[in-house]
């Protein structure tokens, strides 16, 4: 898929997407590329579209060179989530333009923040919403493993990888062991959101919640999503317990262990992904992908040291 997210592609999308034809739309950027603290705009440019006597719409145009997702599957997942009522409705998708058009959740809908998770209520509601997604129909392809990402980045960087991330050897060994332990313990394969962070959760009036950005959706182990969410909302062991209880209905050592181990693998995955995207000259203007990738790998290393990983693998 070849796309561009500049004015020319925006103009083409406004002209060619069926729901937008025959109306003159104004486009305002909905977000800007930001790695920290919000993890937004890394895969696509987003616009709120308005026109006289028309309901506002939301347009995503994918960045050229964006990695880690398949447009067809991303649009399938977005459509599936909209049909379930847990995400915005997908109105149109064009793989050539790299464009997806959604209904717009206008204010008072807003992006979740850390303050919202100060009480366990939102954590519980988010976990239940995520479980509904996991119980939906499987997608067409599986998520790449941590080993897949490691081999890919080693092929690209070669010996330079030790300069970019001096602790790469330890990261490679331990994430490999974690992946093997999870596979050996058996895994419940479900459709994953693949990027379940606060920035991809919308809070609406009357307690409404919606998941957005299914760009990295794929089939995988259910607790991979829970581990990703934990990176945003869990600071202490009790937070992990609350998250697992909200999702599974009980606190079990093996499920808490899965969540923590997947949190480590989530940072490793995004660290690899960002370093790979930094290598693409088309992506370097998007944001500080190299710095963000290093941060994710550094946090992966911190959690490898903070968690008793050997005990966690034994608890599976």
Per-residue pLDDT of 8-51, as tens digits, reads 788 989 988 989 988 999 999 987 666 665 677 778 889 999 99
- Using 50, 70 and 90 to split pLDDT, how confident is the model at 202? very high
User: What is the average pLDDT across 270-281?
Assistant: 86
Please give the Cα distance from 247 to 243 (Å, whole number): 6
Q: Is the pLDDT of residue 283 over 90?
A: no
Neighbouring CB atoms inside 10 A of 173's CB total 11
Domains of the chain, each with CATH number or no CATH: 7-103 (3.30.200.20), 110-315 (3.90.1200.10)
pLDDT beyond 90 at 301: yes
Residue 67 CB burial class (10 angstroms; 0-12, 13-18, ≥19): middle
- pLDDT for residue 151: 95
Closest-CA residue to 122 (of 40, 207, 196): 207
Average pLDDT over residues 235-260: 96
- For residue 280, what are the CA distances in angstroms to 22, 26, 170, 256? 37, 31, 26, 37
Contact present, 42 and 5 (Cβ < 8 Å): no
Work out the pLDDT band at 100, boundaries 50, 70, 90.
Answer: very high
What pTM value is reported for the model? 0.93
> For the residues of 145-205, what is the DSSP string, one character each?
PHHHHHHHHHHHHGGGHHHH-TTHHHHHHHHHHHHHHHHHH---EEEE-S---GGGEEE-G
In this predicted structure, the answer to whether residue 2 has a pLDDT above a threshold of 50 is: no
pLDDT top residue among 139 and 64: 139
């Amino acid at each position: 898929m070849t796309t561009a997210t500049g004015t020319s592609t925006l103009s083409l999308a406004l002209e060619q997407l069926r729901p937008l034809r025959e109306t003159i739309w104004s486009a305002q950027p909905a977000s800007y590329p930001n790695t920290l603290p919000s993890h937004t705009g890394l895969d696509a440019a987003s616009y709120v579209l308005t026109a006289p006597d028309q309901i506002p719409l939301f347009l995503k145009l994918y960045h050229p060179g964006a990695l880690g997702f398949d447009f067809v599957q991303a649009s399938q997942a977005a459509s599936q989530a909209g049909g379930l009522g847990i995400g915005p409705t997908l109105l149109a998708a064009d793989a050539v333009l790299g464009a997806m058009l959604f209904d717009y959740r206008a204010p008072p809908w807003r992006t979740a923040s850390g303050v919202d998770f100060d009480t366990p209520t939102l954590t519980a509601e988010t976990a239940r919403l995520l479980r509904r997604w996991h119980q939906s129909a499987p997608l067409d392809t599986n998520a790449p493993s941590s080993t897949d990402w490691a081999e890919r980045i080693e092929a690209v960087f070669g010996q330079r990888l030790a300069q970019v991330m001096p602790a790469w050897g330890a990261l490679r060994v331990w994430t490999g062991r974690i992946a093997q332990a999870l596979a050996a313990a058996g895994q419940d394969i479900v459709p994953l959101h693949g990027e379940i962070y606060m920035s991809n959760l919308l809070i609406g009036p009357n307690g409404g919640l919606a998941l957005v950005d299914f760009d990295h959706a794929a089939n995988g182990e259910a607790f991979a999503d829970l581990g990703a969410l934990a990176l945003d909302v869990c600071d202490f062991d009790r937070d992990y317990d609350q998250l697992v209880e909200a999702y599974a209905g009980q606190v079990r050592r093996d499920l808490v262990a899965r969540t923590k181990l997947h949190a480590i693998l989530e940072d490793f995955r995004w660290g690899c992904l960002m370093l790979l995207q930094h290598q693409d000259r088309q992506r370097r203007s998007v944001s500080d992908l190299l710095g963000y990738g290093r941060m994710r790998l550094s946090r992966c290393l911190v959690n490898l040291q903070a968690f008793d990983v050997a005990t966690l693998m034994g608890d599976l």
